[in-house]
A = this chain, B = another copy of it.
Amino acid sequence: MGVLVMKGRDNLRNHMVYADNAATTKMSPAAIKAMLPYMETIWGNPSSLYGAGQRAAEALQSARERIAACFGASAGEIYFTSGGSEADNQAIISAAKIGERKGKKHIISSAFEHHAVLHTLKKLEKAGFEIELLDVHENGLIHPSQVADAIREDTCLVTIMYANNEIGSIQPIVEIGAICKEKGVLFHTDAVQAAGHLPIHVVEQNIDMLSLSAHKFHGPKGIGVLYARKGIPLTNIIEGGAQERGKRGGTENVPAILGMATALEEACAHMEENTKMVLKLRNRLIEGLSKIPHSVLNGDLEKRLPGNVNFCFEGIEGESLLLLLDDKGICASSGSACTSGSLDPSHVLLAIGRPHEVAHGSLRLSLCEENTEEEVEYILQSVPDIVEYLRGISPLWKDKVKGKRAFLLPE
User: What separation, in Å, do the CA atoms of A137 and B42 have in the docked complex?
Assistant: 37
Q: Are A50 and B120 in contact (CB under 8 A)?
A: no
Complex alpha-carbon distance, A89 and B82, angstroms: 14
Q: Is A16 an interface residue (CB 8 A)?
A: yes
Q: B237 to A238, Cβ gap below 8 A? A: yes
A232 interfacial by beta-carbon distance below 8 Å: no
23-69 of chain A: CB within 8 A of chain B? 23-27, 32, 36, 39-40, 43-45, 47-53
Q: How far is the CA of A319 from the CA of B250 in the complex (A)?
A: 22
Q: A121 to chain B: closest CB distance in Å?
A: 9
- In the complex with contacts A49-B322, A82-B82, A119-B252 CB distance below 8 A: no
User: Are B50 and A239 neighbours in the complex by a CB distance under 8 Å?
Assistant: no
Oligomeric state, in number of copies? 2
Q: Does A110 contact B (CB under 8 A)?
A: no
**CA–CA, A24 and B38, complex, Å:** 12
Interface residues on A, range: 35 or more
Given known pairs A221-B253, A221-B255, the reply for A241 and B115 (CB within 8 Å) is yes
**A206-261, CB < 8 A from B:** 213, 215, 220-223, 236-242, 249-256
Most buried by B among A86, A213, A238: A238
The answer on a CB contact under 8 Å between B333 and A238 is: no
Q: Does A151 contact B (CB under 8 A)?
A: no
Contacts of A138 in B (CB 8 A): none
Known contacts A123-B239, A239-B120; A250/B26 CB under 8 A: no
Bound complex: CA of A241 vs CA of B39, how far in Å? Answer: 29
Picked from B51, B89, B222, the residue with its CB within 8 Å of the CB of A222 is B222
Cβ–Cβ contact A47 & B26, under 8 A: no
In the bound complex, do residue B223 and residue A115 qualify as a contact, i.e. CB atoms below 8 Å apart? no
Does the CB pair A52–B331 fall under 8 Å? Answer: yes
Known: A119-B240, A222-B223. A333 touches B213 (CB 8 A): no
Binary per-residue interface labels of chain A (331-344) against chain B in the complex, 1 for a CB within 8 Å, 0 otherwise: 11110000111100
Q: Which residues of B contact A166 (CB under 8 A)?
A: none
Pick from B40, B86, B221, B256: contact of A32, CB under 8 Å: B40
Q: Which of B40, B52, B89, B253 contacts A16 (CB 8 A)?
A: B52
Q: Is the CB of A39 within 8 A of B27?
A: yes
Residue pair A341, B48 in contact (C-beta under 8 Å): no
- Which residues on B sit within 8 Å (CB–CB) of A341? 242
Chain B min CB distance to A126 (Å) = 12
Nearest to A86 among chain B residues (CB) is: B238
Residue interface bits A309-340, CB-to-B below 8 A is 1, else 0: 00000000001001101100011111000011
Candidate in A45, A239, A251, A253 with the most chain B CB atoms within 10 angstroms: A239
Bound Cα distance from A120 to B253, whole angstroms:
21
- Distance A221 CA – B253 CA, assembled complex (angstroms): 5
Asked if A354 is at the interface of the complex by the 8 Å CB criterion, the answer is no
Q: 28 A-B pairs, CB-CB below 8 angstroms?
A: A20-B44, A20-B48, A20-B50, A23-B45, A23-B251, A24-B45, A32-B36, A44-B331, A48-B333, A48-B339, A82-B82, A83-B253, A84-B251, A85-B238, A85-B239, A85-B240, A85-B241, A89-B249, A115-B240, A119-B240, A123-B236, A213-B251, A221-B251, A221-B253, A221-B254, A221-B255, A222-B222, A241-B340
Pairs of residues from A and B, 8 with the lowest C-beta to C-beta distance, nearest first? A222-B253, A82-B82, A116-B240, A119-B239, A85-B240, A85-B250, A50-B326, A23-B45
Residues of chain A at the chain B interface (Cβ within 8 Å) = 16, 18, 20, 23-27, 32, 36, 39-40, 43-45, 47-53, 82-86, 88-89, 114-116, 119-120, 122-123, 213, 215, 220-223, 236-242, 249-256, 319, 322-323, 325-326, 330-334, 339-342
